[in-house]
Each structure stands twice: as structure tokens, then as C-alpha cells.
């Protein structure tokens, strides 16, 4: 994606995510370019893990940022971070794409948070409403809050930041085996909690 002058690049690079989203809402493509530089890798990885299709994930990446450009005014910092909002858009667009292809996401009994939460079924909420990260994200977040902090943190890193288990281990400095155990136990508990929060698994 293109950016403006060197001075513009420096100023946008120093902005926080909410400040950049505000600039995007004002029609500043340089702000969108900065957000793309920050998060395109995470979005691509997240989309690929749901779709299992690299070309499809790359196409979805562009669509996600196009929607971000169009819906930047809908972002509310009070509801959560920008990356949570962005990955909520990615999640919902990926699931919509899977439905268009008449096939289902990978099985929900996986210990991978991305794969399990990709199987969340929305029965009532329109795609456009889900894309701005409202009810579904809030319900999942509420369920996550009931997990022990160590388990919640690694699941959030996987689902909301798109990190692999190895990347989580490298980031936290914890052994890979410890990360796997925390995710496995956390996902077991989360499967039990989600129905209580009105979230159904496909």
C-alpha cells in the first residue's frame, strides 16, 4: 500500500491505533497504510488458519482492509482494542467465505483457539453487524474472563493476535509444552462456558 511523504510517514508511524483509525475515518489513506503495515501479517495468518487456503487468505486480507476503510467510523475504543475489532472482521468475513464455498470450517473439537472459535455459529446477527465486532465478540470475551489468567492470556494471544503456539512460547518465554497445556485446559473450560454465554458451536 502507498504512503505519503517522508514527513507524513513519520507522523502516522508515531500514532496509536485509535488515532490512526480516526484518521482513516477522515479519509486519510496513509493512516490505513500504517495500520496495514502493522497488522497485515497477523490478519493473513488468521485468515489462512480459518480458510486453509493461501490465495484465498491473501484475497481476504485485502477485503478486510477495504472494509476497515469503509467502516472505520464504527470503531469504538470503549468496546476493545483495534486488533480485536480487526480480527473480528477477519473472522466473520472468513466464515462468510466458507459458507459461500458450501463447506465448513475445521472441526470444533480442536485445542487450537482459532479453529474452535472459527466454528462459532451466529444464528441471528447480520454479517454487517457482526463485522463491527459487537455481540459475538463481547460474549466470547466475557467467557474468556472466567478462565484462569494464564489460560486466558495464551488463548487471547492465539485468537485475537493470530499467534501460533510456538510464537506464544517465544513471546512469553514459557516452554512450548507449558503453552500447549494451558491452551488445552483453557479450551476445555471454554467449550463448557460458551453455551452459558449464548454462543453455540457448529
* Res 5: pLDDT: 45
Q: How far apart are CA 43 and CA 32, in angstroms?
A: 14
Count the Cβ atoms, other than its own, within 10 Å of residue 150. 16
Q: Identify the H or E element spanning 27.
A: none
Q: What is the pLDDT of residues 30-63, one digit of tens each?
A: 999 999 998 898 888 888 888 888 899 999 999 9
**Whether the model pTM is above 0.75:** no
* Res 21: pLDDT: 94
Beta bridge mates, 200: 121
Count the Cβ atoms, other than its own, within 10 Å of residue 201. 13
* Res 128: pLDDT: 38
Q: What is the CATH number of domain 106-202?
A: 1.10.10.10
Side-chain-side CA neighbours of 11 within 13 Å: the count stands at: 10
Q: How far apart are CA 94 and CA 22, in angstroms?
A: 25
If you average pLDDT over residues 172-191, what whole number do you get?
A: 88
Q: What is the CATH number of domain 1-103?
A: 1.10.1740.10
Residue 159 above 70 pLDDT? yes
pLDDT band at 67 (very low <50, low <70, confident <90, very high): very high
Q: What is the pLDDT of residues 120-157, one digit of tens each?
A: 554 444 443 443 344 566 777 788 889 898 998 888 88
Q: What is the pLDDT of residues 18-28, one digit of tens each?
A: 999 999 999 99
Closest to 113 in 3D by CA, of 64, 78, 77, 151:
151
* Res 158: pLDDT: 80
Q: What is the pLDDT of residues 73-125, one digit of tens each?
A: 999 888 778 888 888 888 888 888 887 776 555 544 556 666 566 555 544 44
* Res 102: pLDDT: 64
Kindly write down the DSSP assignment for every residue of 78-140, as one continuous string. Answer: GG--HHHHHHHHHHHHHHHHHHHTT---S-TT-S-HHHHHHTEEPSS--HHHHHT--HHHHHH
Buried b (16+ CB within 10 A) or exposed e, 87-112: bbbbbbbbbebbeeeeeebbebeeeb
Alpha-carbon torsion (16, 133, 139, 187), positive or negative: negative
Residue 160 above 80 pLDDT? no
What does the domain layout of the chain look like in residue ranges?
1-103, 106-202
Amino acid at each position: 500500500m502507498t504512503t505519503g511523504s517522508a514527513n507524513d510517514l513519520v507522523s502516522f508511524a508515531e500514532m496509536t491505533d485509535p488515532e490512526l483509525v480516526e484518521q482513516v475515518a477522515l479519509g486519510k489513506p496513509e493512516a490505513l497504510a500504517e495500520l496495514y503495515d502493522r497488522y497485515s501479517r497477523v490478519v493473513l495468518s488468521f485468515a489462512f488458519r480459518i480458510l486453509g487456503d493461501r490465495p484465498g487468505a491473501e484475497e481476504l486480507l485485502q477485503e478486510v482492509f477495504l472494509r476497515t476503510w469503509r467502516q472505520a467510523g464504527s470503531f469504538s475504543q470503549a468496546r476493545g482494542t483495534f486488533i480485536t475489532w480487526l480480527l473480528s472482521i477477519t473472522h466473520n468475513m472468513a466464515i462468510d467465505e466458507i459458507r459461500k464455498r458450501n463447506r465448513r470450517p475445521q472441526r470444533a473439537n480442536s485445542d487450537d483457539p482459532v479453529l474452535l472459535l472459527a466454528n462459532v455459529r451466529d444464528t441471528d446477527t447480520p454479517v454487517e453487524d457482526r463485522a463491527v465486532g459487537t455481540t459475538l465478540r463481547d460474549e466470547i470475551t466475557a467467557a474468556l474472563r472466567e478462565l484462569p489468567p494464564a489460560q486466558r492470556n495464551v488463548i487471547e494471544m492465539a485468537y485475537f493476535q493470530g499467534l501460533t503456539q510456538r510464537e506464544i512460547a517465544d513471546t512469553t518465554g514459557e516452554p512450548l509444552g507449558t503453552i500447549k497445556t494451558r491452551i488445552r485446559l483453557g479450551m476445555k473450560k471454554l467449550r463448557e462456558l460458551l453455551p452459558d454465554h449464548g454462543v453455540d458451536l457448529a
